[in-house]
């Protein structure tokens, strides 16, 4: 059974009966500290905040209510516990109290000092500002006698969202076996595959399967592609670069887009992104790819080696399209040993500043720089 926790100051007893009736009618179990339905451990180190935090963790849904008073533990402990724990929750506020807040908020706009207000009103303004302006949460107003009706409506919305997510999860499970055979995917399946691919919380391997299927069908939209190029999951970001020619089938490719991808590689701490990108850009469009590669950072030796090797494979095409000058400039950069003002030189200078004798210079470092 679903466990629904009522959180707030002691004056929530005014809506407690409606809360119990509504939750019970939903088939749930109502929890409220005033009737003792909270988790607790009595000991020499007992703490109300710990008890509240533990109850929030055990609850399925939390209902935070402001009648007139502001409960310190509710807004300093329980809300934070719900947010950190990913708990579904509602925020309900008595309409007259909310209207009072709106008046005070308009009258005491930051940086106006709230000290001229009573302690009760200061807490009200600070709490609702934190809810709405800082945390961007939605406080739903209610009137006496209609709390149960509002609670029922808002709980129904939560259940609707939960059912929608269950439906989406089931859809994802049903589509996964089809990802290995992209030709069988319908338009709806491809939309679901794109949703899977861009979901940072989805399993990495499932996202990769979806990405391969989308590349095979050339069915990824550009907004999703930009999202995948910036993915926090390294493996997904790398695969996006590897499959870029199929994920972005526009020909000729936009120069702006190619330069954006190079900027993504330059901003990444993963040198594997740049190395994977090098053979992809010329394959998409040789002149535009070479123009974009001129913007690529080449501090990494492996990146230089990959670029030189890739350009050599296009030697005949480069001659046909008269790209020798642009390619020569890239090859010159590949041969250059100057990198970040020579980190070894800077390292020795730092050693000297620390008062230590730097190690002898390697023979390779004595070679003239280009």
Sheet holding 139-142, edge to edge: 29-32, 3-7, 61-66, 89-94, 139-142
Q: Is residue 189 domain-resident? A: no
User: Does 209 map to a domain?
Assistant: no
In a domain, 80, yes or no: yes
8 Å CB contact between 211 and 197: yes
Q: b/e per residue, 198-211, with b = 16+ CB within 10 A? A: beeebeeebbbbbb
In a domain, 223, yes or no: no
| Residue 113 to residue 33: CA distance in whole angstroms | 34
Cα–Cα distance for residue pair 7/131, rounded to 1 Å? 15
**What pLDDT, in 10s, does the model give residues 24-70?**
999 999 999 877 666 555 555 556 677 788 889 999 999 999 999 99
Instruction: Determine contact, residues 258/292, Cβ cutoff 8 Å.
Output: yes
Q: Which residue has the tokens 């000092």?
A: 113
Instruction: Report the CATH number at residue 26.
Output: 3.40.50
Examine the fold and report which residue of 145, 160, 180 is the final residue of a domain before the chain moves on: 145
Cα separation of 102 and 89, whole Å? 23
SS3 assignment, position 48: helix
Evaluated on CA atoms 352, 354, 357, 359, the torsion sign reads: negative
Instruction: Quote the crossing angle between the two packed helices 222-229 and 187-198, to the nearest 10°.
Output: 30
Residue ranges of the chain with per-residue pLDDT less than 70: 36-48, 337-343, 358-370
Last residue of a domain, one of 123, 145, 167: 145
Q: Which of 145, 164, 180 is the last residue in one of the domains?
A: 145
Range of the domain at 24: 3-145
pLDDT value at position 368? 46
Overall domain count for the chain? 2
Q: Is 10 contained in some domain?
A: yes
Q: Is 104 within a domain?
A: yes
- Segment 126-143, tens digit of pLDDT: 999 999 999 999 999 999
Task: Answer yes or no: is 99 within a domain.
Answer: yes
In a domain, 177, yes or no: no
Question: Taking the model in full, what pTM does it have?
Answer: 0.69
Q: What is the DSSP letter of 93?
A: E
């Amino acid at each position: 059974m679903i466990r629904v926790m009522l959180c707030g100051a002691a004056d929530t007893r005014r809506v407690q009966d409606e809360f119990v009736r509504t939750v019970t009618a939903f088939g749930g179990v109502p929890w409220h500290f005033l009737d003792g339905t909270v988790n607790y451990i009595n000991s020499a180190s007992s703490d109300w905040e710990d008890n509240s935090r533990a109850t929030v963790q055990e609850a399925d849904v939390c209902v935070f209510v402001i009648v007139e008073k502001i409960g310190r533990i509710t807004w300093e402990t329980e809300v934070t516990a719900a947010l950190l724990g990913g708990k579904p929750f509602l925020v309900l506020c008595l309409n007259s109290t909310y209207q009072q807040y709106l008046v005070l908020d308009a009258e005491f706009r930051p940086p106006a000092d709230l000290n001229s207000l009573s302690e009760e009103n200061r807490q009200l303004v600070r709490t609702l500002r934190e809810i709405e302006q800082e945390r961007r949460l939605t406080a739903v107003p209610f009137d006496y006698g209609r709390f149960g009706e509002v609670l029922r409506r808002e709980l129904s919305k939560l259940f609707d969202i939960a059912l929608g997510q269950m439906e989406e999860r089931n859809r994802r499970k049903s589509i996964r076996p089809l990802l290995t055979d992209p030709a069988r995917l319908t338009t709806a399946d491809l939309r679901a595959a794109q949703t899977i691919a861009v979901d940072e919380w989805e399993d990495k391997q499932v996202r990769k399967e979806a990405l391969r299927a989308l590349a095979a069908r050339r069915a990824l939209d550009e907004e999703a592609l930009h999202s995948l190029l910036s993915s926090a999951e390294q493996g997904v970001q790398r695969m996006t670069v590897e499959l870029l020619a199929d994920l972005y089938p526009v020909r000729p490719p936009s120069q702006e887009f190619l330069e954006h991808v190079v900027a993504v590689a330059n901003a990444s701490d993963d040198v594997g992104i740049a190395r994977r990108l090098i053979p992809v850009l010329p394959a998409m469009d040789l002149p535009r790819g070479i123009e974009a590669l001129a913007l690529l950072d080449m501090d990494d030796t492996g990146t230089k080696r990959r670029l030189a090797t890739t350009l050599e494979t296009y030697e005949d095409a480069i001659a046909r399209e008269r790209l020798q000058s642009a390619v020569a400039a890239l090859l010159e950069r590949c041969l250059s040993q100057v990198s970040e003002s020579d980190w070894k030189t800077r390292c020795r200078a730092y050693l000297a500043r620390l008062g230590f004798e730097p190690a002898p210079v390697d023979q390779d470092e004595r070679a003239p720089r280009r």
